[in-house]
Amino acid sequence: MLLIRCPYCEKDLPEVEFRHAGEAHLVRPSNITEISDEEFEAYFFLRQNPKGIVFERWRHVHGCGRFFNAARDTVSDKFLTTYKAGEPKPALGESA
C-alpha cells in the first residue's frame, strides 16, 4: 500500500484514502465540438503510459476530496512529488 502526500492536507496518508484518476495534464479542448475524430481519440484514449516518471492525478477521496497531481516512478512506485491541481509540471531535476 502506497503512502501518498496530499498537497492540500500536507500529510502522508495511506493509499486507501485516495483514488487514482489517470494521466495528468490532459486538458479538455476548449473547442471540443470542433476537434477531429483523431484529436478526440488522442485526448480521450491515447496515453503516455511511461515506464519511468508518470505525471498522474489522484483524488483524496476519503479525505479532503481534492484532486491533485503527482510525479511517480512507475518502475519503483516511488513518488517524486505531489502538487496541487492547476500547478504546472514541476521540474524534477536530478532525480528525474
Partner 1 sequence: MRKYSAFAIAREAFRGHKGWEQQWRSPEPKAEYDVVIIGAGGHGLATAYYLASEHGITNVAVVEKGWLGGGNTGRNTTIIRSNYLYDESAGIYDHAVKLWENLSQELNYNVMYSPRGVMMLAHNIHDVQVFKRHIHANRLNGVDNEWLTPEQAKEFCPPLNIDKNARYPVLGAALQRRGGTARHDAVAWGYARAASARGVDIIQNCEVTGIRRAPAGHVEGVETTRGFIKAKKIGVVAAGHTSVIMQMAGVRVPLESYPLQALVSEPVKPVFPCVVMSNTVHAYISQSDKGELVIGAGTDQYTSYSQTGGLHILEHTLDAICEMFPMFTRMKMLRSWGGIVDVTPDRSPILSKTPVPGLYVNCGWGTGGFKATPGSGNVFAHTIARDEPHPINAGFSLDRFRTGRLIDEAAAAAVAH
Partner 2 sequence: MTAPFRIAGKGRLGSAAVARFTFDGKSYAGLQGDTLASALLANGVHLVGRSFKYHRPRGFLSAGVEEPNALVGIERDAARKTPNIRATVQELYDGLQAVSQNRWPSLSFDIGAVNNLGSPFFSAGFYYKTFMWPKAAWKHLYEPFIRSAAGLGVAPDKADPDHYAARYEHCDVLVIGGGVAGLAAALSAAETGARVIIVDEQATVGGTLKAETGTKIDGKDGWAWAQDVANRLAAMDNVRVLTRTTAFGYHAQNMVALVERVTEHLPGPLPELPRERLWQVRAKQVVLATGSIERHMVFPDNDRPGIMLASAGRTYLNHYGVAVGRNVGIYTSNDSAYYAAVDLKKAGVNVAAIIDVRDNPQSAIIDEARSLGITIKTGHVVAGSTGRLRITGMIVKPKAGGPTQTIGVDALLTSAGWTPSVHMFSQSRGKLAYDEATQRFLPGTYVQACASVGACNGTDDLAAVLAEASSAGLSAARAAGVEGGAAAATPQASASESWTGGMLGVPQGVEDKKAFVDFQNDVTAKDIAQAVREGMHSIEHVKRFTTNGMATDQGKTSNMHGLAIAAELLGKPLPQVGLTTFRQPYTPVTFGAIAGHARGKLFDPTRRTAMHSWAEEHGAVFEDVGQWKRAWYFPKAGEDMHAAVNRECQTVRKTAGIFDASTLGKIEVVGPDAAAFMELLYTNPWQKLEPGRCRYGIMLREDGFIYDDGVVGRLSQDRFHVTTTTGGAARVLHHMEDYLQTEFPHLNVYLTSISEQWAVIAVQGPKSRDIIAPLVEGIDISDEAMPHMSVREGKICGVPTRLFRMSFTGERGFEINVPADYGRAVWEAVWAEGQKHGACAYGTETMHVLRAEKGYIIVGQDTDGTVTPDDAALSWAVGKAKKDFVGIRGMKRPDLVRPGRKQLVGLKTKNPSIVLEEGAQIVADPNQPVPMKMVGHVTSAYWSANCGHSIALALVEGGRDRIGQTLYVPMPDKTIEVEVTGTIFFDEKGERLNG
Cβ–Cβ < 8 Å for 6, 13 = yes
List % helix, strand, coil for the chain (3-state, nearest 5): 20, 35, 50
Q: Does 88 bind partner 2 (CB under 8 A)?
A: no
Q: Which of residues 39-68 bind partner 1 (CB under 8 A)?
A: 40-42, 44-51, 54, 56
CA–CA separation, 96 vs 89, rounded Å?
12
Q: Does 10 bind partner 2 (CB under 8 A)?
A: no
Residue 92: contacted member of partner 2, partner 1, none (CB under 5 to 8 Å, by partner type): none
Residue 93: contacted member of partner 1, partner 2, none (CB under 5 to 8 Å, by partner type): none
Cβ–Cβ < 8 Å for 49, 40 = no
Cβ–Cβ < 8 Å for 53, 73 = yes
Out of 47, 48, 50, 78, which residue is the one contacting partner 2 (CB under 8 A)? 78
Residues that bind partner 2 (CB under 8 A): 1-3, 19, 21, 27-28, 32-33, 35, 37, 40, 44, 57, 59, 61, 65-67, 76-78, 85-86
